Homo-oligomer: A and B are copies of this chain.
Amino acid sequence: MIHKNTPEEMIEVIRKAPKVALFSHVSPDGDCIGSMLAIGLALEKMGKEVSLYNPNPVPSYLAFLPGSSRISQALPSPQAKVLLFVDCTDLGRVNMSRSDIPEDSTVLNLDHHISNLFFGDFNWVDVHASSVGELAVTFINRLGVEFDVDMATNLYTAIVTDSGCFEYSNTTAQTHRLTADLLDIGVDLSLIHHNIFNQKPLAQIRLLQCALNGLEILADGQLAIMTLSAEDFQKSGAEQEMSEGLVNHARSIAGVEVAVLLKELSPHEIKGGLRSNLWLNVNEIAALFGGGGHQRAAGCTLRIPMAEAKQSITTAVEEALRIGRDH
């Protein structure tokens, strides 16, 4: 039987377990790593044996997190009787399936994603939490473990990462109250912010340079469009994923409603990222090209050369801006 949102029962299972194995998702971020580490440290304070797993290496910008060097890329063997999955919508997020888990084990699922599959025997899924970090604070509180600076550093990192430095709309009064409790314990804000936000690869800055060199402002200043050719990636030494977030530079310009970044993956494969500021539904524009997403952030792939892709997207955005204004 699946138990949905049963924090009390989950805490009871943890209390009784002498050993707990913790798991966090592929392409790890500050939220899953910080939350897993904080809970792991808390469980050790209770005298439990803890293992920490992530399928990938911890990104270098998170290496400052207390305990991070103990995270293993090898699955615990033998598998523990109690497994806690942190920030994972499903077992696929840790490259696992139910057959990897012994029948008599208990699976605990702590998450905040709306797409969570309730794959655990006990599940604590709160979609109103900005981050699993928030849930981890409550989790540790309920276990009755006293917070220390190492735990607070991990938890602050988790929350600040997934709330976008308290900017994203998932940030609530509760996010700030829990953060206040962590600051009371004493976290080094400068150290954390330096590690999380000031460790950009030089290649990413070079890619921003290329993007800005190709920036065009159209539609009476309402559309800002940037392009990155395959050559731009090559000469910057940048990986595809380093273009993440660059579109926000275009979006931050006064008067801009729609920002677009077009990336050339190959000569006839252009990936488009669209963002809007206040009112335009870019999901509808992305849908015109077989893509999708959300009203303010969407994406699509166009199997045509860059110049054509740019023209097509520009025309579609200009049309949408015109219709929107006329309403």
Contact = CB atoms under 8 A, between A and B. Distances in A.
Contacts of A165: 165-167
B213 A213 contact: yes
Contacts of A215: 205, 209
A251 interface: yes
Contact of A172 (B175, B183, B249): B183
A93 to B, nearest CB: 27
Contacts of A16: none
Nearest to A185: B173
Contact of A176 (B60, B183, B190): B183
A278 to B, nearest CB: 7
Contacts of A177: 176-177, 180
A194 to B, nearest CB: 6
A194 B278 contact: yes
Interface footprint category on A = 35 or more
A200 B194 CA distance: 24
Nearest to A179: B176
Centre residue among A171, A212, A215, A256 by max chain B CB count within 10 A: A212
Given A173-B184, A205-B249, A277 B198 contact: yes
Interface in A252-267: 252-256
Nearest to A193: B167
A279 B80 CA distance: 43
B217 A202 contact: yes
A240 interface: no
Contacts of A9: none
Contacts of A174: 180
8 A-B pairs with least C-beta separation: A176-B180, A209-B212, A173-B183, A173-B180, A176-B176, A199-B254, A198-B252, A177-B180
Interface of A: 60-61, 165-169, 171-177, 179-181, 183-184, 189-190, 193-194, 197-202, 205, 208-209, 212-213, 215, 217, 221, 249, 251-256, 277-278
22 contacts: A61-B254, A165-B165, A165-B166, A165-B167, A167-B193, A168-B189, A169-B190, A172-B183, A173-B181, A173-B183, A174-B180, A175-B180, A180-B180, A198-B251, A198-B252, A198-B277, A200-B254, A201-B253, A202-B253, A208-B212, A212-B212, A213-B213
